[in-house]
Structure 1
Amino acid sequence: MEVIRMGIGSIQSSPVPLSACIGYFDGLHLGHQQLVANAIAAAKDHHCQSALITFDPDPWAVLKDLQDIDHLTTMAERIELGAKLGIEKWIILEFTKELAALTPEAFLNQILIPLNLHTLVCGFDYHYGCRGQGNVDTLKKQSVFDVKVVAEVDYAGEKISSTRIEKAISEGDMVLSEKLLGRPYSLHGSVVRGNHVGTNVLGFPTANLALSDHYVIPKRGVYVGACRCNGELIKAMINIGHNPTCNHRDELSVEAHLIDFNQDLYGQTITLYFYEKLRDEVKFASADELIAQLNADRLNTKNYQRKEGMACV
């Protein structure tokens, strides 16, 4: 897949007409995937190149002068997911206050039309231009390219959205987040050295994760999941919290005990996948009580079976 960055004054016209979907696409969830699927279908029907148009940095961060906003996915992860879905060209528009100030007409004339679009696919609630004054109705008034509007995508009677997924994750509902994302939620980073309490005191060695970016973090507690390392997927018992019983720390830690695995992972890049929450974080009266609970958690993790129809990772 080709990845292109551009902005105001540097829009590159595609030599081949594009069938593109547009949005921020954090999480690239099942609602977003409907936009992608429609863009790809239109590209095949009209012999165009499929594309996805997105923005960087996060428009909300630019408009509100915010730093280090938590996201469901990094741009690199979205690009990888888009490639797997079949997108041929990934267009990143540099989002600035200058871009945000464009009127809907200016955004159309300076950004969208120069891209050489045949079809633009957007959600029913898509807005563009200064203060979101443009919408699907104003888009349809132009005649340079076709506009296809995708209806609301629901699950359990409620719209699938990045906000809904963030809420589910923050509440520890990883089963719901997976149903909305179409895959297990994951965190990506490198393994760093801890103080070895898990190994030396508790008998549960863990891989301590230094996150690669600012992610939405699941609620504090213990989760059954998996770890991808060295191309292998291994069952994992994942803990998120402050280790209140034996090793209290002020900063939130993300660590995983890999089932039946004893290789050295220090310095390696891994991905943790969250399947289901086992329990909340608890401060136990003693290390022995904690160890007994960890043994139960490990057994539950080892015996955990993915439900039929759940996504592979």
Structure 2
Amino acid sequence: METIHLTYPETPDLVPSVMVLGFFDGVHTGHQAVIRHAQAQAKQLDVPVTVITFDPHPKQVLSNKPDAVRYITPLQRKLNRIAALGVERCIVITFTKELASLSPQQFVDDYLIGAGAVHVTAGFDYSYGKFGEGTMETLPYHARGRFTTSVVAEQTSGGEKVSSTRIRQLLGAGDVDVASELLGTPYVICGEVIHGDARGRTIGYPTANVVMDASYVMPRLGVYATRVRLQDGRTFDAMTNVGRRPTFYATGDVSIESHLFDFSEDLYGQLIEIEWMHYLRDERAFDGLDSLIAQLKQDETAARAILS
């Protein structure tokens, strides 16, 4: 996939294509429906598909808080997932306050008409331009006869809208199974394995202490059945703890620690991916190492059964 990064007032080169608009955090099944619709339109018109997306999230810029947003799919992961759907071209526009101040008509003129759109599609709730005044209802007017438009209806699962907001809520509640259904793939966090306190080795459960490589949505604190993919492509069943390790620390930062089953190699410095499969239990403090080890054995049995 050709990927083009632009910052206003830069504008794209003229390439006739079907354009699909959205932020696409998660590239979930609702987003996939929009992209598939664009691909069907592009096949009829015999032109490629161009996805137009933004980075960082508008809320992060407009709120003046660098950590205002955590992502289901940080930019590179989002681009990888879009490319895997067979999209030919993606334009990533740096979201700035200057871009946010464009009128709906100027946004359409500069980034849609000016980039060669022959057809533009998006989800039913997409908005554009200053204060989000442009909507899919106003897009045909702003197109000024230069391109046609279509709207993809709301996608639902279990009677509820499929949305990035809903997926964030599910992850926050530990419902990684349902979140994965809406994503169409397991939720993934990627990070580097760093040195920890090595306490797990002394109790027979060595862990990979992971520092996230981006601002991901953090799942609910607790213990999960997971799968861990290594840099070399190998995947291992695992159990992963997200929490503050209250058995050993009264307070502390949240950490992510994965114990890989049937694995004894050194992972320090490697980038690994953790796939979140199922929530096992809350994190809690234990009254001693014996009770902690007993619980870890139960967790391992439960995780192995789920992952098998």
Question: SS in structure 2 opposite 1:239?
Answer: strand
* Greater CA drift, 240-249 or 88-97: 240-249
Q: Is the 8 A contact 1:242 1:252 kept in 2?
A: yes
Return the alpha-carbon distance in structure 2 between the equivalents of residues 261 and 301 of structure 1.
15
Aligned counterpart, 2:226: 225
Aligned counterpart, 2:171: 169
Q: Give the superposition deviation at 1:140.
A: 1.5
* Greater CA drift, 258-267 or 110-119: 110-119
Q: How many residues align?
A: 304
Q: Is the 8 A contact 1:246 1:287 kept in 2?
A: no
Q: Is the 8 A contact 1:8 1:110 kept in 2?
A: no
Unaligned runs of 5+ in 1: 307-313
Aligned counterpart, 2:136: 136
Q: Is the 8 A contact 2:19 2:112 kept in 1?
A: no
CA RMSD of aligned residues (A): 1.2
**What are the within-5 Å matches in structure 2 for residues 29-108 of structure 1?**
29-68=28-67, 69-108=69-108
Aligned counterpart, 1:209: 210
Q: Give the superposition deviation at 1:248.
A: 5.3
Aligned counterpart, 1:309: none
TM-score in terms of structure 1 length: 0.94
Alpha carbons of structure 1 residues 7 and 133: separation in structure 2 relative to 1, 3 Å? same
Alpha carbons of structure 1 residues 305 and 227: separation in structure 2 relative to 1, 3 Å? closer
Question: SS in structure 2 opposite 1:137?
Answer: coil
Alpha carbons of structure 1 residues 232 and 248: separation in structure 2 relative to 1, 3 Å? farther
Structure 2 residue 242 is matched with structure 1 residue 240: yes
Return the alpha-carbon distance in structure 1 between the equivalents of residues 163 and 242 of structure 2.
24
Return the alpha-carbon distance in structure 2 between the equivalents of residues 134 and 50 of structure 1.
22
* Greater CA drift, 60-69 or 268-277: 60-69
Q: Give the letter for the 1:212 counterpart.
A: D
Q: Give the superposition deviation at 1:179.
A: 1.2
Q: Give the superposition deviation at 1:7.
A: 3.3
Aligned counterpart, 1:283: 285
Q: Give the superposition deviation at 1:154.
A: 0.5
Return the alpha-carbon distance in structure 1 between the equivalents of residues 37 and 229 of structure 2.
31
Q: Give the letter for the 1:101 counterpart.
A: S
Q: Is the 8 A contact 1:197 1:247 kept in 2?
A: no
Q: Is the 8 A contact 2:34 2:123 kept in 1?
A: yes
Q: Give the letter for the 1:12 counterpart.
A: P
Q: Give the superposition deviation at 1:14.
A: 3.2
Aligned counterpart, 2:197: 195
Q: Deviation per CA, 1:98-122, whole angstroms, max 9, x where unpaired?
A: 1111111111112221010111111
Return the alpha-carbon distance in structure 1 between the equivalents of residues 96 and 258 of structure 2.
39
Return the alpha-carbon distance in structure 1 between the equivalents of residues 250 and 149 of structure 2.
55
Structure 2 residue 134 is matched with structure 1 residue 126: no
Structure 2 residue 257 is matched with structure 1 residue 255: yes
Unaligned runs of 5+ in 2: none
Return the alpha-carbon distance in structure 1 between the equivalents of residues 105 and 287 of structure 2.
65
Question: SS in structure 2 opposite 1:224?
Answer: strand
**What are the within-5 Å matches in structure 2 for residues 102-117 of structure 1?**
102-117=102-117
Return the alpha-carbon distance in structure 1 between the equivalents of residues 41 and 13 of structure 2.
19
Q: Give the letter for the 1:139 counterpart.
A: L
Structure 2 residue 12 is matched with structure 1 residue 7: no
Q: Is the 8 A contact 1:8 1:111 kept in 2?
A: no
